[in-house]
Chains A and B, each alone.
Chain A
Amino acid sequence: ILNVEQSPQSLHVQEGDSTNFTCSFPSSNFYALHWYRWETAKSPEALFVMTLNGDEKKKGRISATLNTKEGYSYLYIKGSQPEDSATYLCASGGSQGNLIFGKGTKLSVKP
């Protein structure tokens, strides 16, 4: 079974801090890397889907990079806000969208 690892497991930052987390995945038979944000009492929401080595994607203050050769992706949040508090999931997997998820990084942003 494909193994997707995320670090750190949890993170506490102050409002205004910038932060980043890591997702590592097997680099062989790579198809795509997904990032999701999962807020408490809501359903996971897609942030990015990346497929090409060197991909960089940005949505507002959140950005992500992808290195398929070495099997890692970084998610960056610039100037964290309390509303960024959530669990961030990454996933990779097969050609049919059958994704394997990491355990997530739980981010808490204090005002």
Chain B
Amino acid sequence: DGGITQSPKYLFRKEGQNVTLSCEQNLNHDAMYWYRQDPGQGLRLIYYSQIVNDFQKGDIAEGYSVSREKKESFPLTVTSAQKNPTAFYLCASSLRGSSSYNSPLHFGNGTRLTVT
């Protein structure tokens, strides 16, 4: 079955350490996205990529970095510069890259990151 896989499901890190969250899709989708959820807030966009080797900042990109070296993979690194990294992170993909506003998002199951 095609889908999006995020790993791990739970991740614990010490403050000051960088951590990378994995997101892999086998849907052959062009576009991929990273969202963050905090209690009482809507999903907020961190980064997105419409095509391999290209990505754009979302609304809350500070303290995060991404890469898109392969179509299937869009890893997110939470750096030590991110002031409040503890959150639930969701990865998503959609079929089309450019003009993808009318393509529904397909989501992974998320990674819950706790930084102490």
A residues at B contact (CB < 8 Å): 1, 4, 31-32, 34, 36, 42-46, 49, 51, 89, 91, 93-104
A101-B43, A103-B42 known; A46+B106 contact, CB < 8 A: yes
9-40 of chain B: CB within 8 A of chain A: 31, 33, 35, 40
How many Å lie between the Cα of A68 and that of B90 in the bound state? 28
- Smallest CB-CB separation from A2: which chain B residue? B59
A36-B105, A89-B43 known; A97+B110 contact, CB < 8 A: no
- Smallest CB-CB separation from B98: which chain A residue? A96
Task: Return the contact of B42 from the options A32, A95, A101 (Cβ within 8 A).
Answer: A101
Residues B105 and A34 in contact, CB atoms below 8 Å apart: yes
B residues at A contact (CB < 8 Å): 4, 31, 33, 35, 40-45, 48, 50, 56, 58-59, 90, 94, 96-110
How many Å lie between the Cα of A30 and that of B98 in the bound state? 16
How many Å lie between the Cα of A91 and that of B42 in the bound state? 9
Residues A1 and B59 in contact, CB atoms below 8 Å apart: yes
| Chain A to chain B: the 10 pairs with minimum beta-carbon distance, closest first | A46-B104, A97-B100, A31-B101, A101-B42, A43-B107, A101-B43, A32-B101, A103-B42, A44-B107, A32-B102
How many Å lie between the Cα of A104 and that of B42 in the bound state? 7
How many Å lie between the Cα of A64 and that of B109 in the bound state? 25
A89-B42, A103-B42 known; A98+B102 contact, CB < 8 A: no
Residues A96 and B104 in contact, CB atoms below 8 Å apart: no
User: Using Cβ atoms and an 8 Å threshold, which residues of chain B touch A101?
Assistant: 35, 42-44
Residues B98 and A46 in contact, CB atoms below 8 Å apart: no
User: Using Cβ atoms and an 8 Å threshold, which residues of chain B touch A43?
Assistant: 4, 90, 107-110
How many Å lie between the Cα of A36 and that of B100 in the bound state? 16
For residue A43, give the distance in angstroms from its CB to the closest CB of chain B.
Answer: 4
